[in-house]
Amino acid sequence: MDTEFLQKCIKKIKVQNIENADVEVINKSPLKMMGKGRQGAVFQFTDDICVKVFGNEEDCEREHYALSLGKDSDLFPKVHAKGPLYIAMDIVKGVDVREYLQSQPLTKELSSKLIEMLITFKEIGFERIDHHKRQIYVQPDGNLKVIDVARTVWRDRVYPYPRKLLTSLGEEYKTLFLTHVAEMAPELHEEWKHYIQMEEISREIYQSILSQYKGKELKKQSQKLLTKNNDSSYASSLEGLVHKVFKEEWVKTMLAIGHNPDDIMDKIDEYWDRRELEFENEMKPNRGYEPRRQVDIGKMTGRTWSMDKGKQGEKGRYDEKNYREDKDKREKSEHQGNKWNKITFDERGRRKRRFK
């Protein structure tokens, strides 16, 4: 073929991709356009050879790679030349399956050839064993040829059954085709049926989730989880976070160097209790300190003691010595001999439980 003349023609053809639409074509060459699609436009070069011009190099590389995988099969057109944005190949003659089924029935013989086509796809390495009926041509001798194979390779996600082919056949021929598959390849039919059912279930789940989702209401309700804009909640949350991280990292560090886990936990509790008491002593009532909540410590300690929010003076203060004495008595009387399930109380009377 005259590749020099072909390249001159290609320079006079401009193809531009359009999102979700067929390409736009500016043709100033003598070549006649035969048709166009999402990736490119096809022009007749000779009686037997056409040239497909692409809108981008990636689609051109995809299609050329896919055709090269099937170069030893009669299912694909033969490639004669290639450039960055074009592929020259045999013209696929005959009639596509879409038009064929408008005047002819879907026979078991045709269904058999469609299954053989899918087997070839799998054998040569196509990642998508699927194709639309308008891209499958029935030849005068009854064999099939396939065009537009760019999307059969380099796919991240594919259907594990020929979904596009089945959908394009329409409900009547889809049912008939699956009946033929069940007769000729029952195990294959069962697998396809399984994937079809899984797809239907997935769609039902999606619709259920979609019907339950209330974006505005969720946004409003989620405000209840926010703590950063509330000073007291933020301080409490941050304190708990620091305490948790410190405890976890200390345990991992001590275990790594061979310390007893029970001794580690006791030392952590002692350390953190001491730090919290130091903080309480620093925040004296005459400095305007307000406890973060009101609690009745008497229920836990046996003392008549309460925290009166906003009151001044030493009323309601609980010194470290009394706290230590009550803590030791509680642990000895209530949890003697159980070192792995020990309940302790902090200086605010909050109950803490530690499990092994």
CB 322 within 8 A of CB 329: no
Residue 247 pLDDT class (50, 70, 90 cuts): confident
Gap between the Cα atoms of 356 and 348, Å rounded: 24
Residue 65 pLDDT class (50, 70, 90 cuts): very high
118 pLDDT above the threshold of 90: yes
Query: How far from chain centre, in Å, is Cα 37?
Result: 30
Q: In the predicted model, what is the mean pLDDT of the chain?
A: 80
Report the phi/psi class of residue 240: left, alpha or beta, with left for phi > 0 and alpha for psi in -120 to 50: alpha
Gap between the Cα atoms of 17 and 241, Å rounded: 53
Choose the weakest-confidence range: 74-83, 107-116, 199-208, 336-345: 336-345
Specify the 3-state DSSP secondary structure of 252.
Answer: helix
Whole-model pTM?
A: 0.60
Structural tokens at position 273: 């209790």
Residue 295 pLDDT class (50, 70, 90 cuts): very low
**Angle ∠(155,157,163) on CA atoms, nearest 5:** 100
Gap between the Cα atoms of 95 and 135, Å rounded: 10
297 pLDDT above the threshold of 50: no
Distances from the Cα of 68 to the Cα of 65, 106, 124, 140, 334, angstroms? 5, 30, 10, 24, 80
330 pLDDT above the threshold of 70: no
301 pLDDT above the threshold of 60: no
Region 269-288 average pLDDT: 66
- pLDDT confidence of residue 211: 73
Given the structure tokens 């002819």, which residue do they identify? 104
Gap between the Cα atoms of 293 and 128, Å rounded: 63
DSSP element (H, E) containing 68: helix 57-69
Choose the weakest-confidence range: 57-66, 245-254, 283-292, 300-309: 300-309
CB 88 within 8 A of CB 80: yes
- pLDDT confidence of residue 353: 46
E strand segments, the chain: 13-18, 21-27, 32-36, 40-44, 49-54, 79-83, 86-90, 95-96, 136-138, 144-146, 342-345, 351-354
- What tens digit of pLDDT does each residue of 19-54 get? 989 999 999 999 999 999 999 999 999 999 999 999
Helices (H), 222-334: 231-256, 261-282, 298-301, 320-334
CB 76 within 8 A of CB 123: no
The CA radius of gyration of the chain, in Å to the nearest whole number, is 38
- pLDDT confidence of residue 277: 76
Gap between the Cα atoms of 90 and 75, Å rounded: 12
